[in-house]
Amino acid sequence: MDTMWAPWRMEYILSDKEAGCIFCKALTTDDDLTLYKGPVTMVVMNKYPYINGHLLVAPVRHVSGLEQLDGKEKQILLDTVDQGVAILKEVMNPDGFNVGLNLGRVAGAGVEEHLHFHIVPRWFGDVNALTVFADVRVIPEHIKATYGNLKPHFDKMELSGD
């Protein structure tokens, strides 16, 4: 039997699980995952990413569906997604992206009470045999290093209306 060690997971396993909305909490605290906080939208790194650079883009307002946003909020939300993709292209040079949102738990929403888009950069060959055979994901860069590379670019981000 092969063993893969991941000792950094023990902190999560033993920790008290966060209560409340992770996005609303990110708005009221300073942390090393929130890249951008605007009046209408925010960008947070996924704490449990599929791959380096996995971003979450959410409205500041705590809503669960697109129909709860007005036209201006929807436009700014999509502009923020677009800016996030542009920054990831510049900094990480991926070959493509998966961009989308999961509405409702049955659709895969882990935080169904606060609407958010996922931006997942993709590279040729980023799915390896470990994922297919062992249900293990290998992420080659520490999340804090990815944050350090992305944060200066989000600090310069400007959106009209946000």
Task: State the residue range of the domain holding 145.
Answer: 19-155
pTM for the full model? Answer: 0.77
The SS3 assignment for 26 reads helix
What is the residue whose two structure tokens read 């700014």? 76
Q: Tell me if 139 is assigned to some domain.
A: yes
Q: In the structure, what pLDDT confidence band is assigned to residue 8 with cuts at 50, 70 and 90?
A: low
- CATH code where residue 54 lies: 3.30.428.10
User: Which of 66-75, 102-111, 143-152 is predicted with the least confidence, judged by mean pLDDT?
Assistant: 102-111
Give the distance from CA 155 to its chain's centroid: 16
Q: Tell me if 160 is assigned to some domain.
A: no
**Top-confidence residue, 139 or 44:** 44
* pLDDT given for residue 134 in this prediction: 55
Q: Which residues contact 16 (CB under 8 A, 6 or more apart)?
A: none
Q: Tell me if 136 is assigned to some domain.
A: yes
Provide the phi-psi class of 70: left if phi over 0, else alpha when psi is between -120 and 50, else beta: beta
Catalytic residue among 54, 114, 116, 118: 116
- Integer angstrom CA distances of residue 130 from 93, 137, 149: 23, 7, 27
Neighbours of 107 (CB within 10 A): 10
Q: Tell me if 11 is assigned to some domain.
A: no
Strand partners, 34: 44
Q: Tell me if 97 is assigned to some domain.
A: yes
Q: Tell me if 1 is assigned to some domain.
A: no
* pLDDT given for residue 68 in this prediction: 95
CA nearest 56: which of 70, 73, 77, 74?
77
Q: Tell me if 28 is assigned to some domain.
A: yes
Q: How far apart are CA 7 and CA 157, in angstroms?
A: 36
CA nearest 41: which of 26, 19, 54, 21?
26
Provide the phi-psi class of 18: left if phi over 0, else alpha when psi is between -120 and 50, else beta: beta
* pLDDT given for residue 50 in this prediction: 79
Count of domains in the chain?
Answer: 1
Q: Is 116 a catalytic residue?
A: yes
The SS3 assignment for 80 reads helix
Q: What is the pLDDT of residues 21-40, one digit of tens each?
A: 888 998 888 888 999 999 99
Q: Tell me if 55 is assigned to some domain.
A: yes
Q: What is the pLDDT of residues 107-157, one digit of tens each?
A: 776 777 899 999 999 988 776 544 544 566 667 778 888 889 899 999 998
